Amino acid sequence: MLSSTFIENLGRMIPKENIILNESMSRHTTFRVGGEAACLIKVPNNEKLARLILFLDQTGHEYFLIGNGSNLLVSDNGYDGIILKLVEQFEEVYTDGLKIIAGAAAPLAQVAKLAMEEGLTGMEFASGIPGTLGGAIVMNAGAYDGEMKQIVKEVNVMDQAGNILTLNNETMEFGYRSSVIRNRPFIVLSAVLELEEGDKEEIKRKMKELAERRREKQPLEYASAGSTFKRPEGYFAGKLIMEAGLRGFSIGGAKVSDKHCGFIVNTGNATAQDIYEVIQEVQERVKDQFGVLLEPEVIRLGRF
């Protein structure tokens, strides 16, 4: 329970309409599950973000930053901390020659569409990834032989003291589904993407082709968090899950996709606990049969 004094102090820093108490996280995750967060705050700009994180640190309130919630599983029991969601300034996107400058909250698909419209190539792989730019940078999101590492020139981040730093591509230490930000208390604010001049119609054709491949191979008709597990070295997660006899395995409304075993989907009435238990069962069976521990890409938040 958040005190009235705490809420009043928040209201002095953030517009009151941007402060939402007891917000259902099922509205903010692509799994469409999850209990209530004690408070969700929509943060409109760098200045208010800096003041807010200093205040939360000083008052000892736990907080978690979300984008589109496309890689997040929130407990049915909810989250006792503060959810921060970047809006307004953080959603801005514009071009500068061969560069795209975009805020962390800009949807990745929107940034890829702008690149196409401006005849800039190199970002086609990202057109079907459902997250925001910030989340994609943190996890070095990728698909179809492309990844953020290939196009990120620099990233503006904020540290816990409210200082803004600029990290270049090398400093970001991009790896498979990882970056330096995964292990540092930085918040992505914006990024500069460096692309190449291309043919608009060819870019559009490639994006359409990738979209068709996704529809054919991925269970886009269901709520999910995309690929549930990281690719283990030397293996493919989906193939291991299939060979473990888990295609279509379900608990409650959560199910290993029949179309792509690397996806766990919400068939319509799943709880977060259902999804969590399917993840656990998949991990246990694959470990028992093949000696491989599958590491989830999905981040869990709250008590399971």
pLDDT digits (tens, 9 = 90+) for 229-288: 999 999 999 999 999 999 999 999 999 999 999 999 999 999 999 999 999 999 999 999
Q: Is 231 a catalytic residue?
A: no
Do 180 and 167 meet the contact criterion of CB atoms below 8 Å apart? yes
Q: Is 243 a catalytic residue?
A: no
Query: What residues contact residue 165 under an 8 Å CB cut-off, 6+ apart?
Result: 156, 157, 158, 159, 186
Predicted confidence band at 184 (pLDDT cuts at 50, 70, 90)?
A: confident
Do 95 and 117 meet the contact criterion of CB atoms below 8 Å apart? no
Tell me, what's the pLDDT at 1?
78
CA angle 117, 122, 128 (to 5 degrees): 75
Joined together, the tokens standing for residue 1 give 């329970």
Tell me, what's the pLDDT at 220?
93
Residue 143 has φ and ψ, to the nearest 5°, of -170, 150
For the ranges 23-27, 44-48, 178-182, 263-267, which has the lowest average pLDDT? 178-182
Q: Is the pLDDT of residue 177 over 90?
A: no
Tell me, what's the pLDDT at 275?
98
Catalytic residue among 127, 177, 179, 190: 177
Q: Is the pLDDT of residue 199 over 90?
A: yes
Catalytic residue among 23, 124, 147, 297: 297
Q: Is 212 a catalytic residue?
A: no
Residue 12: count other Cβ atoms within 10 Å of its Cβ: 9
Catalytic residue among 127, 224, 227, 257: 227
Mean per-residue pLDDT for 91-109? 97
- Give, rounded to a whole angstrom, the gap between the first and last alpha carbons of the chain: 20
Predicted confidence band at 52 (pLDDT cuts at 50, 70, 90)?
A: very high
